[in-house]
Chain A
Amino acid sequence: MRNIWTIANRELKYYFGSPAAYLVAFMFLIIIGIIFYANVVYAVTNQYAPGIDIVIGPMVTVLLFATPAITMRLLADEQRLGTMELLLTAPVRDWELVVGKWLGGFLFMIVILALTWLFPLLLNQIVDPGIDQGILVSGYLGLLLFTGALVAIGVAVSSLFSNQIAVFFATLGVYMVLWLIGLPGQASGGTGSELLRYIDISEHFYNTFYRGIIDLSDMVYFLALLALALFLGTVSLESRRWR
């Protein structure tokens, strides 16, 4: 545990001292802010009360692009700097390194997510009699699990390359496959399609958390995806030693 925290702590310090990380956080909030403003204006002109989904919905999509920008450096940069040799010869288990990297990236993403609470607070002031608290809680719980899994995938992909740009696009590619794989399932039907729809990451968000439902099976899905990604990341790191 101590090693995990030592590694996560270094990552956090890096992010809070890095202009690039601030830029990603800033862009994230700006984009959500613009969409939020546009939705509120649209709702006012069409005379209906906007729900919290006008914040949570776009956030899911923007997270797909923001997360790899934060996670791409995690293991790739260690390889580029040669510091991987340092970490792999320190008395640290490979999985501790991977989990520590994940925790560092995840905590920074949580900070960004926490800042978006500004929008629900704002919306609560605008809308009468206030927003649906249930959807707010389930939506953010879903976002937390979703982000945790995305960061874990990012760490795993980051172990494969030493070039951050390559990691960014490869991570985005994995996200997109997981995001869209349910579509052919929806089109065809049958048992194969059931499986594809189960793998699809969006199926576990939009049908439940997004609508104010907290379903245990969806929580299990995200935690399993997270654990699998961290496991594969560890295997990939271990395999580096054998090359």
Chain B
Amino acid sequence: MIRVEGLTKDYGARRAIDHLSFHADDGEILGFLGPNGAGKTTAMRILCGYMPPTAGKAEVAGYDVVEQSLEVRRRVGYLPETVPLYPDMTVFDYLKFMADLRHLPKAGERVDDVLELVGLLDRADGYVANLSKGMRQRVGLAQALLHQPEVLILDEPTIGLDPAQIHEVRNLIQKLGRERTILLSTHILSEAQQVCDRVLIINKGHIVAEDTPERLQARVSGAQRIAIRVGNDGDGLEAVVRKVSGVLRVTQITVGSVEFETTPGTDARPQVARALVEAGYDLMEMRPIGVSLEEIFLQLTRDEPQPPEVWEGEPGPEETAESTSASHEEVNREG
């Protein structure tokens, strides 16, 4: 269980995350989605007890991350963005060290178990320095799973893996997510769509959307995209569709099939169908295509309205620009 209220973190003058509030229940996989620098890693680090927030409260597995940091750390498995490994140790020794730090009984057996889980049993005696990126990632994941934590926090768990490994890790995450809380960050949208029960889109330290991947899709698809296919040769099909009112954009897919987008809030399907029949086409198929999470993401993270009161000292991402321009002035004065 993760419960976060008004979580804020400042790095000097820069506000990395700004009043984040969200929760994740047991057996839920929550996806953190956002461009680089959105504050995903900062939020995750706070939840792992790596650093305290500037303001706000966070509870992980029923314990406060500031007041009961050690209790939280005992119950959280954390895979940082850059997997921290000791190159001078063997895979087994590294995991044994981590298991000993967590006081696990029968640490050696437990290490063998997690190595089997991530498919690295045959590399147990190899040095960490000689592992490929994908293998390192899996060692990091093994480290996070050692103590069978109630809460798993995974910062970009599939980065650097090949497609087969990505598939494996996603399956593993889904399997693990049945009985525990998982918070994972990613910027691969299809991954969030596939793995997560709920997605939190975060941009510039703010949550811009929070919902199931399906509902998010439905919410933004005020603009509908529809594919049509006609039976005959389809000459001039594009032009006919384009003339219908309410149609925004038309793209030719193949001869005889096009895709079009409608203006948000309108449904131009009946008009298009009528126009096609009147023009003498045999309408074979008309099928709505969901707007992909990719598009939702871009829409939400790009079209964010700029706060107008930038210079009134309102804390926000613009403050960075302000302070840097101020320091430029200082430099100029000195020069």
Contacts and interface: CB of A to CB of B under 8 A. Distances in A.
Among A14, A83, A90, A243, max chain B CB count under 10 A is at A90
Contacts of A91: 70, 73-74, 101-102
Interface residues of B, number: 28
Interface stretch (B45-53, B217-225, B248-256): B45-53
Contact of A88 (B50, B88, B98): B50
A18 interface: yes
A89 B78 contact: yes
B87 interface: yes
Which of A2, A6, A243 lies at the interface centre, i.e. has the most chain B CB atoms within 10 A of its CB?
A6
Contacts, number: 61
A58 interface: no
A120 B316 CA distance: 69
Contacts of B78: 89
A2 B102 CA distance: 10
Nearest to B103: A2
A138 to B, nearest CB: 38
Given A89-B50, A89-B76, A91-B70, A83 B85 contact: yes
Interface string A82-108: 111111111111000000000000000
B86 A81 contact: yes
A81 B87 contact: yes
Interface in B29-67: 45, 48-52
B52 A83 contact: no
Interface residues of A, number: 25
B84 A83 contact: yes
A48 interface: no
B80 interface: yes
Contact of B84 (A2, A81, A241, A243): A81
B294 interface: no
Contact of A86 (B70, B87, B98): B98
A90 B85 contact: no
B86 A85 contact: no
Given A81-B85, A81-B86, A86-B84, A92 B50 contact: no
B49 A89 contact: yes
Given A6-B97, A6-B101, A82-B80, A89 B73 contact: yes
Interface in A12-53: 13-14, 17-18
Nearest to B73: A91
A241 B65 CA distance: 13
B100 interface: yes
B74 A85 contact: no
Contacts of B190: none
B194 interface: no
A18 B80 contact: no
Contacts of B102: 90-91
A3 interface: yes
B222 to A, nearest CB: 42
A242 B52 contact: yes
The interface residues of chain A, by DSSP majority, are classed as: helix
Nearest to B102: A91
A87 B49 CA distance: 11
A88 B101 CA distance: 11
Nearest to A5: B100
A84 B74 CA distance: 17
A90 B102 CA distance: 7
B155 to A, nearest CB: 10
Contact of B88 (A18, A82, A86, A242): A18
Contacts of A10: 89, 97
B101 A17 contact: no
B327 interface: no
B82 interface: yes
Contacts of B48: 89
B101 A93 contact: no
A241 B50 contact: yes
Nearest to B140: A86
A106 B318 CA distance: 49
Contacts of A17: 88
Nearest to B82: A82
A83 B316 CA distance: 31
Given A6-B101, A82-B80, A241-B52, A90 B73 contact: yes
B88 to A, nearest CB: 6
B25 to A, nearest CB: 22
B77 to A, nearest CB: 9
B50 A85 contact: yes
B84 A92 contact: no
A57 to B, nearest CB: 36
Interface in A69-86: 81-86
B83 to A, nearest CB: 8
Contacts of A18: 88
11 contacts: A6-B97, A18-B88, A83-B84, A85-B50, A89-B80, A90-B101, A91-B70, A91-B102, A93-B70, A241-B51, A242-B51
Given A83-B85, A89-B48, 12 more contacts: A13-B93, A86-B84, A89-B49, A89-B50, A89-B76, A89-B80, A90-B101, A90-B102, A91-B70, A93-B70, A241-B51, A242-B52
Nearest first, the 4 A-B pairs at minimum CB distance are A83-B84, A82-B84, A86-B84, A89-B48
